[in-house]
Structure 1
Amino acid sequence: MNSPEQVVICGKGELAIFACEYFNASPKHTVSYVVADPFEPVSTERTLIEYCREHGIEVIDSGRIEDLPGYADGTFACDLCLVIFHKRILPRRFIDCCARIINLHLSYLPKYRGVRPVNWALKNGERMHGATLHEISEGIDEGPILNQVAFCIYPEFEEVVDTYTRAMGYARQLLMDTLPMIDRIVPVPQEHAEMSIYYEKDNHRLEERMTFTKAQSLKLLERL
C-alpha cells in the first residue's frame, strides 16, 4: 500500500479547519503540519490553532513557514499544500518545496485579485462575485484555475458581512466538490487581460465598505 500523501495547510478560519477535517478523514492523505495565522477572523468560533491542538496535529502557531521543521536546512517537502486565507505572499523557495500548492481565493478570478475582494466587489457595484481554487505561482492570485463558482450579490442592500458569509458558504461547497477529484483536474490558465487587483495601500478608498458594515466603516473613517 502506498504511503499517504503529506499535506500542509497554511491559513486560518473555519474553511482551514474544514480542510483539516477532510484530509484527516482521507486514507490517502495525512496532515503533517498546519501553519496557522495567529490572527483569526472575528467570526471564527474555534481557532485553527485550537483545532490542531485538540486533534494532535503539529501546528506552527507563529504563522511563519520559515518555522516549518526542515525548511531552514532545505529538507522540508510536502506532496500538497493548501492555502486558505494565509496573509503572506509565499516565496518561490517554499513553492518549490511543494509537489503541488493550491490557494482558495474569495473572488471569481481573474477579477479581484489581492486583498478584500468581497469589499471591493460591493464598493464597485458588481452584480456577480465568486470563489476560486487555483494553483499558486509567484504572482498574486494569478495561477491556473482548478475550479470556481459564481453567485449573485446585491450591493444595493447587502453589507460586506452578508456577502462574505454567503461567499464562505460557496467556498466551502467548492472545497467539498473539488478536493475529492483534485488529482484528476487539469488547471486552466487565467485570462490575465481581464484581471483586476487591489493592494493594502488601496484600502482607504473602500470608504463605507472598509469593514463588515457601513456603520463600522464610517466610525473607523472618523478616527483616521
Structure 2
Amino acid sequence: MRILFMGTPDIAAASLAAILEAGHEVCGVFTRQDKPVGRKQVLTAPPVKVLAESKGIPVYQPRTLRDEAVQSDIRALAPELIVVVAYGRILPPEVLEVPPLGCINLHVSLLPKYRGAAPVQWSVINGDTETGVSIMFLDEGLDTGDILNVAPVTIGPEETSGELFERITDQGAKTLVETIAAIGRGEVTRTPQDHSKATLAPPLTKEMARFDFTRPAKEL
C-alpha cells in the first residue's frame, strides 16, 4: 500500500519501521521541525526524520498543514492512506480528504478514555491497572474518530510511565500494521466512540512533578 506517514517522536519511528518492514511503500514523511535539545541547545532532528532519511524517504517539515502549497504537496504524493502517530498537529479537512482509504491514527489509550497529549502518563498517575492502544479513523476532532482496532495492555503495580511507554510502543506498532493490512483487504469495521464516556489527558506541567508528601505513597 502507498502510505504517507506523519509522526515525530520515538513511538512514531517504531511504527514507521514496522510499516516499512511489512513491505508498504512510504511515499513521504511529515514530521515536526528540528528543535534545540539539551543544555547546549543543539539543533536535533526528530527520530522519525532520522529514520526516514536513512531509508531515502522524502521528509517534509512544514509549520502548518493549512498552507495551500503544503496541501498541494500532499496531493502530489498521491497516498492511498495517511497514517498518523504522535505527529502533534490536527489534520485539516483538506488533508483528511486526500487519501481514498482515509487517514488513521494510533492513540495510546483505550478510547474514548484519555483523549489528548499524555494518555500513558495519566493512566499511571490515576493508578489504572489497564490501558492499551486504539487505531481510529481521523476526523476533525481531537481523538474523536471511529475505532478500527484496539489492543489492551496491563499496567504493573510498580510500573513507571516510561516503562509502560516502551511496551505500548511495541504493541502499537504491531496493532497498527495489522490494521493497515485489514484496511487493504477491506475487512475493517468502524465503531463510533461513545462520546459520553470520554475523558481527557492534557499535557503535564512542571508543577505536577513536585512531590507532596502528604499524599498517599501509592500516588507518589
Does TM-score exceed 0.5, indicating one fold? yes
Q: How does 1:1-224 map to 2 (within 5 A)?
A: 5-24=1-20, 29-38=24-33, 47-62=47-62, 64-65=64-65, 71-72=71-72, 75-76=75-76, 77-99=78-100, 100-154=102-156, 156-183=157-184, 184-200=187-203, 203-204=204-205, 207-208=208-209
* Cα pair 2:12 2:48 within 8 Å, conserved: yes
Task: Tell whether the 8 Å contact from 1:52 to 1:58 is kept in structure 2 after alignment.
Answer: yes
C-alpha offsets along residues 31-72 of structure 1, whole Å, 9 cap, x if unaligned? 2211022469x9xxx822122222221110346435796625
What TM-score results when the alignment is normalised by the length of structure 2? 0.76
Instruction: Kindly indicate whether the alpha-carbon contact (under 8 Å) linking 2:7 and 2:13 is maintained by their aligned counterparts in 1.
Output: no
The AA in structure 1 aligned to 2:105 is N
* 2-structure distance, mates of 1:75, 1:178: 23
Residue 205 of structure 2 aligns to a residue whose secondary structure is helix
Q: Structure 2: which 5+ residue stretches go unaligned?
A: 38-45, 212-220
**SS at structure 2 position matched to 1:180:** helix
Q: Please state how far the C-alpha of 1:73 moved relative to its aligned partner.
A: 8.6
Cα drift, residue 30 of structure 1: 2.5
Between the aligned partners of 1:152 and 1:20, the Cα distance in structure 2 is 24
Percent sequence identity is 26
1:95-119 alpha-carbon deviations (Å, 9 max, x no partner): 1223210000000111001110011
C-alpha contact (below 8 Å) 1:129/1:150 kept by paired residues: yes
Deviates more, 1:53-62 or 1:73-82: 73-82
Query: Deviations along 1:110-143, whole A, 9 cap, x unmatched?
Result: 1001110011111111111011110001111010
Instruction: Give the deviation of 1:179 after TM superposition.
Output: 2.3
Tell me whether 16-25 or 130-139 shows the greater mean CA deviation: 16-25
- The residue type equivalent to 1:48 in the other structure is V
Q: How many residues align?
A: 199
TM-score, scaled to structure 1: 0.75
What RMSD in Å do the two structures reach over aligned CA positions?
3.1
| 8 Å CA contact 2:14, 2:170 repeated in 1 | no
Higher RCO (Cα < 8 Å, 6 or more apart) = 2
